[in-house]
Structures are given as structure tokens and as C-alpha cells.
Structure 1
Amino acid sequence: MGEFQQQLFTLVGGIVCLVFLVKCIQFLKYFFPRIWSAQTQAFLQSMGEWAVITGASDGIGKAYSFELAKYGFNIVLISRTLEKLQKVASEIEQTTGRKVKIIQADFTQRDIYHKIEQSLQGLEIGILVNNVGMLPTPIPCRFLNAPDNDEDVINCNNISLIKMTQIILKQMVPRQKGFILNISSAFGTFPCPMYTIYSASKAFIYTFSKALQVEYKEKGIIIQVMTPYGVSTQMTMYSKPSFINKKAEEFARESLDYVTFGDETFGCLAHEILARFVWCIPLWVFYSVQVQESFLSVMSSYLKKSGGGGNT
């Protein structure tokens, strides 16, 4: 019996070491994405002629619009502010020479999707970036202290994702190719107190995307969810860029190297490293009263000094 237990423990230990080694090798791809996936640009260009980006007038959406135009795509910009859309469209056309189409739409409303679908008729859409999103409040707070805008948040963060995916996916399936990138958040990978509604809405994007990839992978469609940590945008009050808090342009450029890396990424090397560090911290540490009170105090003070937030 003792010999059997020793063999069993040896086998289990060997399996654990092998799994760890495989994960380490897989993680190396984030350090050398151009080597691991050298044909990213050609791969994306094979998807179709047009890329559609929601929340495209600012921040991450604007950054993806420019990057995909540089990759050779014609761009459809969808956002709520016409003046910003026109400015971004002009900049893309002048700097890249690509065609740009704009669609003005407020994603907090539900009566916009027939107009969007009609405007997209006849376009060979290879990429959809579901980027639009909003915070219920820029200042973290407990659920009962949050503003009563939950319907706007759900419409903007979740209904937009469902409806835009329905519109675009049914164009991709007959062609057996396409790439859908859904922007979630690291806050959607675990329950995040003080951002309860936002965290839950981003968790929906996370699970929706991963389930949808299982359904449509065999159809040749790639559906990837991205769960970034800090990116300097209007939503984060243009917080100072750093190794962790990336500029939107840097983040979009780096994340496009990861499109063949599976159904989930954090978008950049810094966030991949940070995520693995966070996973080592037990949730009870984050959920302790002392940590929550400290987080609430520090974030409230910082964000009040920075100004207001908004949707993208």
C-alpha cells in the first residue's frame, strides 16, 4: 500500500509539473507575439473588407479604428456624438487613405438597431469590435448609493453587445470567417464590490463571449473577449499612463497581436502579468472591510480631483 501511494503521489506530482510547464510555455507567447503569430495582419485582412467599431469617437474605440485602418480595413464608426465621429473619420481618411462610414447612435437607447442594420447593408464586414460601454458612476460606491441609471448601463454595456453581434454574425456565418472582439474588463473576471453593476455587466460580456465562441468556432468565426486592467481614457479620467495603465493607442496596437491566442486575453503583456499576480491573492483579502473602506476612500479622493467620467 505504501509503495502504491508513493507511485500515485509521484504520478500526480509529475502531472502537476507538466501542466505548469505547459502553462509557462504558453505564457511565453505574450513576450514574443510576432514570432508566435507572425501573420496577424494577413490573417485579419482575410476576414473581410470592413471593420465596425462601437464607441469609436474616443478612447479605445478610436484607437482600434486607427489601427485597423492602418491594417487596410475600411472603417465604420458608431457612436453618439456626431461632431466627434466626423472629426475621427476625417483624421482616419487623411492619415490612412481608407474609406470611413459614420453612424450616429446612442447605445443607451434600444430603438437604434434597425437603423444601424440598414446602414451596414452591402458591406463585407470582417471585424466587429464591441467596445462601447459606460460606468454607472466614476466614483466607486455601494449599490444603494449609486445613481438610478441601471437601464442605461445594461443597454449600453450588454444590449448593444447582443444586438450588434446578431447583426454582424449573421453576415459572417455564410462566408465562414470573421472576427468579433468584445471589450470586457478585468472587473468582469471576479465580483468587484463598489462597482457592482459595472462588474456584473462586464461579467456578462465575459461569459457571453466564451459561450458564443464554442457555438461558432466550427463556423470559422473567432470570438474573443478582452479583459483589460487600466487604460487611460475618458472613462478613467485620462489617468496618467504607466507600465500598467496603458495609453489607448498602445493598448489597441499590442492587443491586435493577440487575436489568434484563444478566446480570452487581457490585451497586453503588462495586464497578463498583473492578472497572474492578482489570481494569487485570495478573494477574502479584497473583500475585507478594511480593504474595501481604504479602496473607497482612495478612489473617491482621486476621482473627485480628476473630474467626471462618462461612457465611450
Structure 2
Amino acid sequence: MALIEVFFALVGACVILRCAVWLAHWPMIFFPSVFYPLPENFFTSMGKWAVITGGSDGIGKAYAQEFARRGLDVVIISRSKEKLDRAKRDIEISTGAKVIAIAADFTKGNIYRGIAEKIEDLEVAILVNNVGILPTQIPCKLLETKQLEQNINGVINCNVKTMVKMCQIILPGMVKRGRGIILNVSSGMAKIPCPIYTLYTATKVFVERFSRGLQAEYKSSGILIQVVSPFAVSTQMSGHLKTNLITLSAEGFVRNSLMHLKAGEQTYGSISHTILGWVVQAIPTWILRRDAFHHSFQEYVKKRMGT
């Protein structure tokens, strides 16, 4: 009997301790600049360059602009040369930073030697693996995806292989210098089983697991690796949704997420998205499995995107 009492006492103590830690974490979420301050020269102390995939638009361009504003030169890599040239010009004019633009289609598998050759002599302080694509603009069941075979290859190449290969290219230099930052952009939707976004969210789960494992491997080498998991951000991928308390602008999201850089190996990037993450994870999985939910969610996305 005494053993059972001890067991339940230990369980109760663990629950209380977990709740205390959770409550103590709240102020850190709401006041990241107080609990996780970054020195003004924090980013430039890591090196001279920031490399951003998907850097011609949206979150990627916002990261490039922010790092350029904080004193780094930047490399932006994306598919559209027209968008790259426009982003390059915007960043150079607004910040005075040097910008290298590299056109590369991340849905292909044979582009990395060319990228490596163009950045091999750069002292890279920060790598942002931001590039990502959806299989379809409007979510649907896997077998309803148009050009499914092509989409499978493209999504996995872009959302998964790119991150691994870019780490393979840039991480050795960071390890050699004993400093560097890698930010891998996942999605808040990867926190739950997400029907009708199955392929996309599965790749984002890979991003999270890979990032956290890589941080465990290279933290002792002085490398900070963090997975950033936003929900709605107003970008081309989301149909440039109107911003509000939940849907953030790309620039606003990036500024907020960098305030959480030292908050741990994973962040939602903002207070509102952190709260939304807790809410989403509380949704019973049986609701997510219902066809009625799938249909309602499809209609909601169509309405939000004006289609």
C-alpha cells in the first residue's frame, strides 16, 4: 500500500512540476525581448553573409531584408529570375547591403553543385531554409491532386531535399568556425495530422524532426539550429490574405520570430501563433478524420483566397 501511495505522490509531483514549468514559460513567450535579448552585433558576430532559399518573395524576402538591415550581406536563391532581380534591387536600395541572386528550381534534384560553387568562398553566418511549395493551392485528398506524380517529386525535392542539401553545403563552414545559425521554416499545421494537406504537412514534420535532431548533433559545435513553425502569413502561397491578429505580414512575422531566436529549438515565431498552436493541438483527432470537416475546410480556404 505504501508503495502505491509513493507512486501516486510521484505522479502528482511530476504533474505539478510540469504545470509550474508551463506557467513559468508564459512570461517568456509574451516578453521575448526581455528574456532572450540579442546584442546589436549578434548576427554580424556569426559571419558576413545570410543565405536564404525562397528569398525572392514572402517570408524569405522578409528574412533577407531584415538581415541586410542588421548588417549582413545576403544571398537569395529562388526559381524566378525576374522576382530575384526585383528583390535584389529592393534590398540593395533600402539597406545598402550587397546581394547575390542565384536562380535555381528547387523542385529539381541536380542544382546543388552550382549553388555550392557560387557560395563556397562566403563566410555564411545564417542559413534560412525557407523555400517550400504546396501540391495544390486549394487543399484536397492525395489521390485528387492534379499531376500527382509530378507533385510528389516536386514537393519532396523542394520541401525536404533542399533543406538537407543546403545544410550539407553550408554546415561544414559553420562547424569549422565554431559559430552559425540555421533556421528551418516548417508549419504550425505539422503539429497535428492534417488531412487534405497530407503531403505538404508530412514534409514539414520532416523539417521539424530533422532540425531538432541536427541541433542535438551540432549544438556543442556552437551552431544554433531552430525550426520556425508559423501558421497564416500573408504571402503569395497563402493568396496574400488580409493581415489581422492571426494572419501576419511577412515582415512582421520575421521580426517577431527573430525575437524568439534563443527561446529554444522550436518556435511558432509569434505570440498569436503560439496560442493558436496550443488550440490546434487540443482539437480531437476524430474531428480531423471526418469528411464533413474536410469539405468545410476546403470551402473556408476557397473563400479566404477568393476562388
- Cα RMSD after superposing both structures: 1.6
For 2:120 and 2:134, locate their aligned partners in 1 and report how far apart those are by CA, in whole Å. 31
For 1:63 and 1:32, locate their aligned partners in 2 and report how far apart those are by CA, in whole Å. 22
1:129 is matched with: 128
Alpha-carbon distance, 1:108 to partner? 1.1
Say which is worse superposed, 219-228 or 83-92, in terms of deviation. 83-92
Query: Which of 226, 235, 238 is matched with 1:236 structurally?
Result: 238
Letter in 1 for 2:260: Y
For 2:75 and 2:241, locate their aligned partners in 1 and report how far apart those are by CA, in whole Å. 28
For 1:282 and 1:194, locate their aligned partners in 2 and report how far apart those are by CA, in whole Å. 17
Q: What percentage of residue pairs aligned between the two structures are identical?
A: 45
Residue 212 (1) aligns with residue 214 (2): yes
Say which is worse superposed, 282-291 or 269-278, in terms of deviation. 282-291
Alpha-carbon distance, 1:5 to partner? 4.6
Alpha-carbon distance, 1:280 to partner? 2.0
Alpha-carbon distance, 1:302 to partner? 4.1
Q: Do the aligned partners of 2:193 and 2:285 also contact (CA within 8 Å) in 1? A: no
Alpha-carbon distance, 1:289 to partner? 2.9
Given the two structures, how large is their TM-score scaled by the length of structure 1? 0.93
Unaligned runs of 5+ in 2: none
1:184 is matched with: 186
Q: Give secondary structure in 2 for the equivalent of 1:42.
A: coil
Q: Do the aligned partners of 2:193 and 2:288 also contact (CA within 8 Å) in 1? A: no
For 1:22 and 1:301, locate their aligned partners in 2 and report how far apart those are by CA, in whole Å. 40
Residue 46 (1) aligns with residue 59 (2): no
2:204 is matched with: 202
Given the two structures, how large is their TM-score scaled by the length of structure 2? 0.94
1:292 is matched with: 294
Residue 18 (1) aligns with residue 14 (2): no
For 1:208 and 1:199, locate their aligned partners in 2 and report how far apart those are by CA, in whole Å. 14
Q: Do the aligned partners of 1:181 and 1:223 also contact (CA within 8 Å) in 2? A: yes
1:81 is matched with: 80
2:62 is matched with: 63
1:309 is matched with: none
Aligned runs of 1:113-128 on 2, under 5 Å? 113-128=112-127
Write the deviation string for residues 139-180 of structure 1: whole angstroms up to 9, x where unpaired.
111111102221111111111111111101011111111100
For 1:41 and 1:166, locate their aligned partners in 2 and report how far apart those are by CA, in whole Å. 29
Q: Do the aligned partners of 1:40 and 1:257 also contact (CA within 8 Å) in 2? A: no
Letter in 2 for 1:94: I
Say which is worse superposed, 121-130 or 274-283, in terms of deviation. 274-283
For 2:285 and 2:302, locate their aligned partners in 1 and report how far apart those are by CA, in whole Å. 22
For 2:303 and 2:100, locate their aligned partners in 1 and report how far apart those are by CA, in whole Å. 41
* Larger RCO (CA under 8 A, 6+ residues apart): 1
Unaligned runs of 5+ in 1: 307-312
Structure-2 change in CA distance of 1:61 and 1:40 (3 Å): farther
Alpha-carbon distance, 1:227 to partner? 1.1
Q: Do the aligned partners of 1:40 and 1:259 also contact (CA within 8 Å) in 2? A: no
1:224 is matched with: 226
Residue 72 (1) aligns with residue 71 (2): yes
Alpha-carbon distance, 1:45 to partner? 2.4
For 1:239 and 1:99, locate their aligned partners in 2 and report how far apart those are by CA, in whole Å. 31
Q: Which runs of 4+ in 1 moved over 6 A?
A: none
Write the deviation string for residues 215-257 of structure 1: whole angstroms up to 9, x where unpaired.
1111111111111111010000001111111110100011011
For 1:287 and 1:40, locate their aligned partners in 2 and report how far apart those are by CA, in whole Å. 47
